[in-house]
Structure 1
Amino acid sequence: MLVPTRDRLLRAAQELIEEDGYGAATVIAIADRAGVASGTLYRHFSSKEELFVEVFRSVCDREIQVVQSAARDMPSGSSHVDRLVTVLATFAERALRKPQLAWALLAEPVDPLVDAERLAYRVRYSALAAETLRAGIAGGELPPQRAELTAAALVGGCGEVLVGPLSPVASEMPAAAEIVAALRTFVRRAVGANRA
């Protein structure tokens, strides 16, 4: 089956970003990987940055769906705190499995258009966490707090915890399981859960 050129360009850009980050995803490299001439990219996207924004959105939409599914698929008696911990731990586990892609999504220096998308997705992750926090507060699992502020701090903290280990120049990286276990403990303590 013939894959449309636009889709081939998107896939090629995503593969290059996953392998070596945005810096490796040059117009020539993307076109070569997609099997088209370099100028073809500009028939489908106004700029390379616009292509990167689409790749970013596609990957982040998928990641948000995965963490939402992880929370939704928990046993029916699970606490809101456990759901929140699962959301952030799932995010971290997936990031640590594809460190180059996660670095590109979280911290690699990028064009302002992509950086604006990065900020928009942080807001979406924070909203997901805030919704779970509000439910935990309403249900008496958590002490009163500004859910939006706590959620933003958790999402920012989670990202910051991952940036060091994901960095292409990281020297000594703790094991992924150790990072996720520490993150789980941090989240519980940060929200005021009784069980650390």
Structure 2
Amino acid sequence: MPRTSTARRRDEARERILEAAVEVIRSGGFRGAQMSLIALRAGVGVGSLYTHFPSQADLFAEIYQRVVRRELGVMREAVAADGGPALARLAVAVRGFCERSLQAGPLAYALMFEPSGPAVEALRIQLREAFREVLADLVALAVTENAVPAHDVAVSSAAVVGVMTETLVRPLSPAGTPPADGFADRVAAMALGVVTARLP
């Protein structure tokens, strides 16, 4: 059935709210993302905002899923697009993630590290696992290519996710220091070191 004009307007208002919320979080983090400020930026009333998102937690969870799933899709495409050796593709994936996170700046910090309630925390755990699964496929392929010794891929891919996220805490933090030149390359090298390490 064709969509009614009322449904289209509702969808457009919802989209404006989400876009406005992302920009507010980008400038002030989750802590500064007051519903009244988001409504003002979106050009809707606060009451209208709550008809789309019953609580701030619902809105934050929707934003988190939208932005982080988009990044997950970018990583999947990057991994699939390059047919080179698995370790080289792993380095590209980690380097690209770091570079995009640094470009996103405060928004990336808020999404990855800022306290934001149980709903977002649960999504963080869920989506970290999704990133791990993407990288685990590459690590398993590296084992098949005899580029690395056989090992527990679930453990090493989880460690790679840890390397590529935790190393971003300081450069992304509002009180942190800007990364030195070549930061993303060094993080990629550390991630490869995790995978290629030979246990005694």
* Residue equivalent to 1:141: 147
Q: Secondary structure at the match of 1:174?
A: coil
* Residue equivalent to 1:88: 94
TM-score when normalising by structure 2? 0.89
Superposed, 1:60-99 pairs within 5 Å as 60-74=68-82, 76=83, 78-99=84-105
The RMSD of aligned alpha carbons is 1.7
Distance 1:152 1:164 in 2: 20
* CA positional deviation for 1:51: 0.8
Q: Which is further off, 121-130 or 134-143?
A: 134-143
- Asked if 1 retains the 8 angstrom alpha-carbon contact of 2:86 and 2:139, the reply is yes
Match of 2:165 among 159, 162, 172: 159
Q: Secondary structure at the match of 1:54?
A: helix
* CA positional deviation for 1:41: 1.5
Amino acid at match of 1:111: G
Q: Secondary structure at the match of 1:24?
A: coil
Q: Which is further off, 64-73 or 27-36?
A: 64-73
Amino acid at match of 2:65: R
Does residue 1:55 correspond to 2:77, yes or no?
no
Distance 1:193 1:79, change over 3 A: farther
User: Could you give the per-residue CA deviations for residues 88-139 of structure 1, whole angstroms, max 9, x where no partner exists?
Assistant: 1111000011110110111011111111111111000011111111111122
* Residue equivalent to 2:112: 106
Percent identical residues: 33
Amino acid at match of 2:195: V
Match of 1:10 among 10, 18, 41: 18
Distance 1:184 1:27 in 2: 38
- Asked if 1 retains the 8 angstrom alpha-carbon contact of 2:64 and 2:111, the reply is yes
Distance 1:89 1:181 in 2: 6
Q: Secondary structure at the match of 1:187?
A: helix
Distance 1:73 1:127 in 2: 17
Alignment gaps of 5+ in structure 1: none
User: Could you give the per-residue CA deviations for residues 27-57 of structure 1, whole angstroms, max 9, x where no partner exists?
Assistant: 1001101111112121111211111111111
Distance 2:31 2:119 in 1: 15
Aligned residues: 190
- Asked if 1 retains the 8 angstrom alpha-carbon contact of 2:79 and 2:93, the reply is yes
Q: Which is further off, 158-167 or 178-187?
A: 178-187
* Residue equivalent to 1:173: 178
Q: Secondary structure at the match of 1:23?
A: coil
- Asked if 2 retains the 8 angstrom alpha-carbon contact of 1:81 and 1:193, the reply is no
* CA positional deviation for 1:193: 7.2
